[in-house]
C-alpha cells in the first residue's frame, strides 16, 4: 500500500494527517483516534482494511500526536468537528466519487457520533469502537471538582489522566507499545474533558436523530469506557440504521486485542463496510 502524509492549518493550529491507499480503492475510511494517542496507532487497521480495498485517511486530533497545540487540548467541540470535515473533504479530493466512511475509537468515537448527529454528513456510514459516551469509572472527586471550576476560568487547565494502561488490551505487548510510545501523552484538560463528557450525554439523548448507518462495537470488559453507554445509545437510535456488536470479554482497544480476537473485530467491521459499499 502507498503511504502519504500532509498538513493543514486550522484556526492557527497546524494539523498532521496521514493516509494509506491500496492499488484498487473501492471506498475510503476516515479514522479519528482516541484520547492521548495518535493516528499512527491505527497503521495496522489501515493495512487490514487496505487488503480489502479500503483506503484510509487519519488525522492527529488537536493537541495529539504530531498536531500542534497543548497536549490534550481542543478549543471547542465545534473545532474538533471542523477537523473531521476537513478530513472528509480531503478524502473527496483524493478519492472523488467513491463511498466515504467515518471510523472513530473511544474519544474519536464520541467525535464521530456527534459529527453524524450535528452535521448530518452525506457519507455511506460510520464505525464507532468503544465510543466515549460514558466513562467506565468514576474520576477522583477532587479532580472532577477542580476541573469543573477551572473549565470556566482556564479551560486549558491540565491534570494527569493517570490512565490504567492494563485495561487497554489483554495483549501485554500492545500495552507495552502504548506505554513506550513517545507520541502518547498523559494530560487531560478541563475544558476538553467536559466538552467530551457533555457531548457523550448529548449524543445518547439525541440518538433518535441519527440519519447515517452506524455500527458500534464494544467489549463487555471495557473498564475505561462504559459498555452500557453504548447500549443506551443503541436503545435510542433508529433500529434500521444502528448495528451493535457486543464483544464478550474484550477490553477497551478491541482492535489491539490478541491476534485471533482482533481478527474477529476486523471481519465484523469489513463485512459491515462491504454491506454498505
Residues in the chain: 277
The residues spanned by each domain of the chain are 2-276
pLDDT score, position 127 = 99
| Tens of pLDDT, residues 206-261 | 999 999 999 999 999 999 999 999 999 999 999 999 999 999 999 999 999 999 99
What average pLDDT score do residues 8-22 get? 97
> What is the CATH topology of the domain spanning 2-276?
Rossmann fold (3.40.50)
What average pLDDT score do residues 133-149 get? 79
| Tens of pLDDT, residues 94-133 | 999 999 999 999 999 999 999 999 999 999 999 999 999 9
What average pLDDT score do residues 53-66 get? 98
The model's confidence at residue 149, banded by pLDDT at 50, 70 and 90, is confident
| Tens of pLDDT, residues 189-199 | 999 999 999 99
- Residue 220, sorted as left (phi over 0), alpha (psi -120 to 50) or beta, turns out to be alpha
What average pLDDT score do residues 167-191 get? 97
Amino acid at each position: 500500500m502507498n503511504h502519504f502524509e500532509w498538513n493543514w492549518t486550522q484556526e492557527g493550529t497546524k494539523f498532521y494527517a496521514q493516509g494509506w491507499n491500496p492499488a484498487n480503492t473501492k471506498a475510503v475510511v476516515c479514522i479519528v483516534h482516541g484520547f492521548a494517542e495518535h493516528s499512527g496507532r491505527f497503521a495496522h487497521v489501515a493495512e487490514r482494511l487496505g487488503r480489502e480495498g479500503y483506503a484510509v485517511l487519519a488525522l492527529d486530533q488537536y493537541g495529539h500526536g504530531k498536531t500542534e497545540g497543548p497536549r490534550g487540548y481542543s478549543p471547542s467541540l465545534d473545532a474538533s468537528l471542523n477537523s473531521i470535515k476537513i478530513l472528509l473533504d480531503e478524502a473527496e479530493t483524493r478519492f472523488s466519487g467513491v463511498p466515504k466512511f467515518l471510523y472513530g475509537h473511544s474519544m474519536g468515537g464520541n467525535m464521530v457520533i456527534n459529527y453524524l448527529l450535528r452535521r448530518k454528513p452525506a457519507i455511506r456510514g460510520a464505525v464507532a469502537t468503544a465510543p466515549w459516551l460514558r466513562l467506565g469509572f468514576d474520576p477522583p472527586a477532587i479532580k472532577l471538582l477542580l476541573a469543573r471550576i477551572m473549565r470556566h476560568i482556564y479551560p486549558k487547565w491540565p491534570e494527569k489522566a493517570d490512565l490504567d494502561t492494563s485495561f487497554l488490551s489483554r495483549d501485554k505487548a500492545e500495552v507495552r507499545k502504548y506505554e513506550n510510545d513517545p507520541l502518547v501523552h498523559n494530560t487531560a484538560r478541563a475544558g476538553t474533558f467536559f466538552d467530551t463528557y457533555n457531548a457523550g450525554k448529548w449524543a445518547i439523548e439525541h440518538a433518535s436523530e441519527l440519519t447515517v448507518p452506524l455500527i458500534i462495537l464494544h467489549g463487555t470488559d471495557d473498564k475505561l469506557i462504559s459498555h452500557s453507554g453504548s447500549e443506551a445509545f443503541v436503545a435510542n437510535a433508529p433500529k434500521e440504521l444502528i448495528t451493535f456488536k457486543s464483544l464478550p470479554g474484550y477490553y477497551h482497544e478491541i482492535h489491539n486485542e490478541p491476534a485471533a480476537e482482533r481478527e474477529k473485530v476486523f471481519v465484523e467491521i469489513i463485512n459491515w463496510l462491504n454491506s454498505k459499499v
